[in-house]
Amino acid sequence: MRAILASSVLSIALLSTACAAIQPEATAAVSEWTLDRAQLLTDLDVLAADNMEGREVGTEGNARARAYIIGRLEAMGAAPMGDSFEHDFTFEQRRTGAKVEGVNILAFIAGTSDSDRTMVVTAHYDHEGMRGGQIWNGADDNASGVASVLAVTEMFLAEPPEHDVIIAFVDAEERGLQGAHAFVANPPIPVENITFNLNMDMVAMSTDRILWAVGTYHYPFLTTIVDDVASRATVSMPMGYDEPSQEPGADWTNLTDSGAFHAVGIPFIYLGVDYHPHYHQPTDTYENMTLDFFQDASVAVVDFARQADARLDAIGEASGR
């Protein structure tokens, strides 16, 4: 997540900043589904375990993580997007020019309406791998986002969404958002039907219990959804980290997978925590996470996904998609 570097992706915000906020009455019905907190912690623990070897793209540890995620999807009855959960892509290593094979994991949940509008929910499952004999486990970055999106998947399978939902666990984020860019460049549905991207990247480590909502600077009509979810959440959900800045790391717009969607004009909200001492360090382990916060943050993540589905037509109208 969020390599601290200058972005080369152009901001596409002129249309959206002129749009009015989505009206708050378009909310999802009361849910009877409850988060399986034990399963959430198990998913985090398994994906951040030493035998995953940091989940670096193209490695055996990455493949083991992929097999676990697909196993979870199959166990909960999720359908693959197309003929397979696995969608291969190739990218060029920046330093060496070598070709690297990545694999995105895509699941499909059909909506109950006949709308063509679709929401894509993303989290990257890769991390930094091993360095100098140490495992960079990537518990927060981004086993946590994967675990929360698995919870979103379970919720939508129990309470089907109004609109189609694509669940995307993308690969090679740490190598320049490669999986997300591959998805956007070759989407499994017409790109004009993708109305909104909800992205989770680092949602498990916050001693001050803050889950940032990033993206409303570009898409201010989404502020009412953030406010609505924040009113029920037991974690704080401020908006920010999305305004242009010369300060390294101060604008997260293009530093995680939602940046690939934003680059083609797809509105997004990215939920994640602030930088912390374990960020991109071998100490980013399950044992060092703030697990109570992670569970409560995941409740907010699931709520956000439900509310975004309920208001997806309004999002499309506000953004011209």
Q: What is the pLDDT of residues 64-84, one digit of tens each?
A: 999 999 999 999 999 999 999
Q: What is the pLDDT of residues 267-290, one digit of tens each?
A: 999 999 999 999 999 999 999 999
The residue to which tokens 């070598």 are assigned: 98
Q: 130, 127, 149: which is closest to 138 by C-alpha?
A: 127
Q: What is the pLDDT of residues 21-44, one digit of tens each?
A: 776 556 787 788 999 999 999 999
Q: Is the pTM of this model over 0.75?
A: yes
Question: Is the per-residue pLDDT at 7 higher than 80?
Answer: no
Whether 213 and 239 have beta carbons less than 8 Å apart is answered as yes
The residue to which tokens 């330093």 are assigned: 95
- Tokens representing 258 are 């939602």
Residue 81: CA count within 13 A, CB half-sphere = 21
Question: Is the per-residue pLDDT at 119 higher than 80?
Answer: yes
Q: What is the mean pLDDT of residues 191-218?
A: 98
Cα-atom radius of gyration of the chain, to the nearest Å? 18
Kindly give, in sequence order, each residue whose CB lies less than 8 Å from that of residue 131, ignoring residues fewer than 6 positions away. 282
Question: Is the per-residue pLDDT at 265 higher than 80?
Answer: yes
Q: 205, 191, 218, 182: which is closest to 298 by C-alpha?
A: 205
What is the β-pairing status of strands 118-124 and 164-170? Answer: parallel
pLDDT at 310: 98
What interhelical angle do 60-75 and 145-158 show, nearest 10?
20
What is the β-pairing status of strands 99-109 and 164-170? Answer: antiparallel
Q: What is the pLDDT of residues 131-163, one digit of tens each?
A: 999 999 999 999 999 999 999 999 999 999 999
Band the pLDDT of 12: cuts 50, 70, 90. Answer: very low
